[in-house]
Each structure stands twice: as structure tokens, then as C-alpha cells.
Amino acid sequence: MVMIRYKLSLAARVQHLVDVDIHLTDLSTDAVDLVMPAWTPGSYLLREYARHVQNFRAEAHGQPVSWSKVEKGRWRIAVQGRSLSVHYQVYANELSVRTSHADATHAHLMPAATCMYLEGAKDERVQIDVEPPVGWTVATGLPCLSAGEPWPGPGAATFMAESYDQLVDSPFEIGTHRTLAFAVDGRPHRIVVWGRGNEDDQRLVADTQRIVEAERDFWGGLPYDDYTFFLLLGGKTASGGLEHRNSTSLFVPRFIFRPAKNYERYLSLVSHEFFHTWNVKRLRAAGLGPFDYTQETYTPLLWAMEGVTEYYTDLLLCRAGLFSSQRYLERLADDILMQQATPGRQLQSLSCSSFDSWIKFYRPDENTVNTGISYYLKGALVALVLDLDIRQRTNNVHSLDHVMSYLYEQYPLGGPGMPPDAYQQAIQQVAGIDASDFFDRYINGTDEVPFSEYLAAAGIVLEWSFKDRQHDGDEPRPTLGIRIRSDNGQFKVANVLSDGPAARSGLAAEDELIALDDFRIADEGTLYERLRDRQPGETVTMTVFRREMLMRIAVTLGTPQHDGLKLVLRPDVTEAQRALRADWLRQHDTG
């Protein structure tokens, strides 16, 4: 058995460099390969972490040994004797939940982006020594060998991972962070906070604990001994979360905690990533572990991993009392609007979107809206209607909640993972329902989802509207069929919608809008003012700059789509609708 020991140190942190040493003993071959992953689980894009490796060297018994790079992320090293030491540095200057970052204030290290693995030994136990700067503390989900408590105090610390997969699943936060603690079922939880903003520590702890308790109740218990929320507070564009087996990394704007609608984004992020503790980290699609870190791992079930998680994200916040049922329905209406405003829904199925995540979801361009969908967004909406369908067809005896519990029991962590038809089979077993037509139409196909039909089961009606009407009775403005953005003072076309008039007329993404019928367009507001004076079917002349050339393009205006939606709880519901609604939302204000 090879003994593998890592050492992480931050002497050059102000240059954004992390020093990594790997010491191997009990070797029995003439050469070994060390491999740097190309991606990290939970983020389905090849990020090529090897590009940030520098100053690689190897030695044995104090003497240099020969090595060569044989692939983009693979180093082959000669072995002289039974031990080998390797040193390299990682440039860590991308602050996100998928990459490593080090500077004078902290280091947030993603092991996949930092630690190479020994080929053929990913299942071996590994030891990690962390040497932080003076006064800094190390936080990670791994067990600490050098402390009697679950987590060590300031100073050097040693951690143990049962395998490389567990190491990859355990980010490190190293710095002078604050730690907020609470317990659920006697198990310690902590929120490790880097940065400052307008957070309220007491509220953070109370609301996070309510989320933990609500999701524990949903799944029937906590599957870990301790849990860490890494909360990284950044600038306005900070965004993202990444799940791990007993921790999660959350990257949010530092002033997200007020007002209430901003804070909702934080609560949803926590709820989503924590739900992954079960759905993804334990209940997983086949192929999502054990991992091949050098290439893509495909599955048609990301809609279930992410979309189902996204569905329960807000629903469990509603059940926990952190969202009112009215606010939950408002957010649900926004999601339906967003989905219906995506022409790509007519071309790409949920299963296809899941499979093509590696080349589409994380690499959007100006045409993505026309050719693809989000398996997060549509996955959540399909999970919603699937839940309501099961409830209605079984007189509310069964639901998607029961299907999830069944799947969790049938596909344990140590098993092979769910096959593509696992959900259909589970629905048949749990509820006695043949869901093949549903899956053919809405998951493997591109049929329009009849939201009105499914929401009616809970006594909810959809009220569509136009937001831009200035007065009751006004006609909504006609549409060009474009999305727009401001770019350094220039007013540009961001997307041309394939089902709109601009696509038929020749307007293109990146066109700089100058005028409509020779009247200047300075911003979004003036464009909409000009359009309110027109009617669908009229032809207008758009003046644009395209690659610095002035062009005039005739566009026949189209009929607008609804851009407002309310989900209304009907008071005159049947007893069956009332019971379904109450059991679904678990709130007293549901009528």
C-alpha cells in the first residue's frame, strides 16, 4: 500500500501562489504518474486546472530525479528506491466556488484545482498537512488528526481523507475567518465567514438552522457527523455555490443580506446547496462517482440532480416558514415567465440539456437562448408539475416527496447510482403510475408544459399580463424580439430571439442601436418609449453600427408576449384541491 502525504503552505500567498508538496512512500514501480484533474464534481466543465501548475520538481533522498510531462495534466516521474517527494506551485487567483484563490487575506482551496493524485491510487487513504501563516486557522470538512475537537484552532493542522475522492470533496478555507456555530440533533454545524458585509450573525445562524432542520425532516435524518458552510463575501458580481459531502462553498455579494428580496437569494442558495447533501452527494446518477477527473462524465439525469433540487429549494423554504406561500408563488411565477421566454425550449429536451451540459450550459453565447434550456430552471418546473400530477392522480396519497425517499433507499452511496429510467420506475413502484408519457413529452421531448392544467390541481390559476402598460386599457408595446445590454456607454443587442421579428429582418447580436425611424435611442427607456407609439405589423427602420459600419435595417414589429404572471390561490376550491394545496405547501395561509 502506497503512503500518500500532502503538505499545503502559503508563503507566497501575496503572489497568489500555493505551495504543494506530495510525499510518496512504499513505492514498488520504476515510474509513477501524478495527474492534475481537469474538472471538479458538481461543475460540469473542463477547467484544465493543470494550466496553473508551475515550478514542478521531484527528488528522492535529497537528489533530483527525472520527470517528463506526457499529457496536459499528467507528469511521469522516475522512481529511485521506495520513496519520492514532489513539489509544485499552483497559481490561485480566481475567486469562485470551483477554483482556488489565495491572497494576503485568506486562501480558499479547491482540492481538484490544487492537489494532483497518484495514478492507480485514488482509493488509498491520504494525509494532508496544512501550514498556515501565523494567526490563521484552517477550516475543512475533513477530520482533523491534530485536534481533540471536530475542528482545530489556529496554527498548523493535519487532516485525513479516506480516498482522493473524499479529498476533492473537501475544500479548505484558511485565514482569519469568523466561525458561527449551532447544533442540530447534537451534531455540530458551523458557518465559516470570510469578508464583511451587511450580514446579521444571529439571523444567519437562526435561518440556516431552520433550513437544516427542514431538509433533515424531508429526508428523515442527517447523514453526516458535522457540517460546514463556507460563506465567502465578495463584490457585486459574486455568485455561486458548490456542494460537498459534509460542506458547501457559498460565494455571494457582501451586501446581499438586505433588503428582503436580496436576502431571499442567499436563503435559496443555502437551501439548494444543502439539499445536495442528499440529492447528488449520496443519491446520484450513475457516472457521477467514482470520477474520472481527466474527461467528461455524461448523464441525462442532471435535470434530476439539479432541477429537482432547485424545485425543493424554495418549496422547503416555504414549508420552513422562511417564505410565505404567496412569496413562493411569486417566485414560481417568475420562473415560469423565464422558461416561456426561452425559444430554446422548443428545440432542446431536458435529458439533452443534461447530457450536453459540458458544451452548452457553462459556455453560453448570444444564441444559447434560441437553442438550449437550463436543466436547473426547466428541471425545477417539470419537477413541480410531476409532483402535482402524482398528488392529483393518487388523491394526494403519494407525491414526489415519497418518490425521493424511495430513490434514496434504493440507491445508496456505495451503489452504482441511478440509471436513466430510475425516476419512472420509482413512480411506478411508489404511486402505481405509468409516467412514460409524461417523460416522453416533457423530459425526453420538447412539448409545451401545460402549467395551468397541473396547477389547477392545487386550486391555482395563472393570470398573464403585460408589465409595461402605463394605464389600464393601454395596448402593450410591440416587440422587436431582441434582448439588449449596455456596454461601456454603447446600447447593444445582446440576443436576437429566433421566434421574433428581428431574426427575420437581419438584426444581429452585438449591433449597436443608434436610432429608430431616425430618432436617437440612448437607452432601454427611450427604445421602449418609441415602441409604445407603434403597433404590431408596422415596419420601422433601425439604425445600427455593425463592426463600425452604419446600417439601416427594416423590421416589422411583432405581437408581444406576456411579460407578467401571477399565480392566484382561488378561494372557491374543492376539498380535494384544498387538501392537496395544504399538504404541498405546508402553510396555514393557503386557503
What pairing do the DSSP bridges indicate for beta strands 512-516 and 519-520? antiparallel
The C-alpha atoms of residue 385 and residue 388 are separated, in whole angstroms, by 5
Task: Report residue 315 CA to chain centroid gap.
Answer: 17
pTM: 0.96
Contact criterion met (CB below 8 Å) for 507 and 493 = yes
DSSP string across 53-83: EEEEEEEETTEE--EEEEETTEEEEE--SSE
* 87 beta partners: 21, 57
Which has the closest alpha carbon to 270: 198, 226, 209?
209
Which has the closest alpha carbon to 408: 275, 231, 527, 589?
275
pLDDT at 478: 95
DSSP tag of 447: P
pLDDT at 161: 97
The C-alpha atoms of residue 16 and residue 442 are separated, in whole angstroms, by 46
Contact criterion met (CB below 8 Å) for 332 and 584 = no
pLDDT at 253: 98
- pLDDT tens per residue, range 209-250: 999 999 999 999 999 999 999 999 999 999 999 999 999 999
pLDDT at 531: 94
Tell me the one-letter amino acid at 509.
Answer: A
Residue 460 cell numbers, joined: 391555482
The arithmetic mean of pLDDT across residues 357-370, rounded, is 96
DSSP string across 97-163: SSS-EE-SSEEEE-GGGT--EETT-TTS-EEEEEEPPTT-EEEESSPBTT-SSSS--BS-EEEEESS
**Is residue 590 predicted with pLDDT exceeding 60?**
no
Looking at every residue in the chain, the average pLDDT score rounds to 96
The arithmetic mean of pLDDT across residues 76-102, rounded, is 96
> Residue 508, Cβ neighbours under 10 Å: how many?
16
* 8 beta partners: 20, 130
- pLDDT tens per residue, range 394-446: 999 999 999 999 999 999 998 999 999 999 999 999 999 999 999 999 999 99
Phi, psi of 187 (to 5 degrees): -100, 130
CA distances from residue 257 to 144, 199, 205, 260, 468 in whole angstroms, order as listed: 32, 5, 13, 7, 29
pLDDT at 473: 61
Q: Place 147 in a pLDDT band, splitting at 50, 70 and 90.
A: confident
For the chain, the helix, strand and coil percentages under 3-state DSSP, each to the nearest 5: 30, 30, 40
Domains contained in the chain, CATH given: 3-174 (2.60.40.3650), 178-264 (3.30.2010), 302-459 (1.10.390.10), 482-556 (2.30.42.10)
Q: Which helix (H) or strand (E) holds 263?
A: helix 260-275
Task: Report residue 68 CA to chain centroid gap.
Answer: 37
Coil, strand, or helix at residue 428? helix
pLDDT at 475: 80
Sorted by sequence, the CB contacts under 8 Å of residue 56 that are 6+ apart come out as 67, 75, 86, 87, 88
pLDDT at 469: 66
Coil, strand, or helix at residue 355? helix
The dihedral built from the CA positions of residue 142, 144, 148 and 152, taken in this order, carries a sign that is negative
Q: What percent of the chain has pLDDT over 90?
A: 92
Coil, strand, or helix at residue 448? coil
Vertex 403: Cα angle to 400 and 409 (nearest 5): 145
Coil, strand, or helix at residue 347? coil
pLDDT at 589: 56
Phi, psi of 506 (to 5 degrees): 105, 5
Tell me the one-letter amino acid at 478.
Answer: P
Which has the closest alpha carbon to 554: 511, 501, 512, 509?
501
- pLDDT tens per residue, range 518-568: 999 989 999 999 999 899 999 999 999 999 999 999 999 999 999 999 999
Tell me the one-letter amino acid at 212.
Answer: V
Contact criterion met (CB below 8 Å) for 510 and 517 = no
Which has the closest alpha carbon to 316: 424, 215, 201, 456?
215
- pLDDT tens per residue, range 286-299: 989 889 999 999 99
The arithmetic mean of pLDDT across residues 81-102, rounded, is 97
Sorted by sequence, the CB contacts under 8 Å of residue 440 that are 6+ apart come out as none
> Residue 562, Cβ neighbours under 10 Å: how many?
15
The dihedral built from the CA positions of residue 321, 274, 251 and 299, taken in this order, carries a sign that is negative
Q: What percent of the chain has pLDDT over 70?
A: 98
Coil, strand, or helix at residue 517? coil
DSSP string across 360-388: TTTS--TTHHHH---TTHHHHHHHHHHHH
The C-alpha atoms of residue 184 and residue 178 are separated, in whole angstroms, by 20
CA distances from residue 72 to 43, 116, 117, 493 in whole angstroms, order as listed: 20, 13, 14, 38
- pLDDT tens per residue, range 444-454: 999 999 999 99
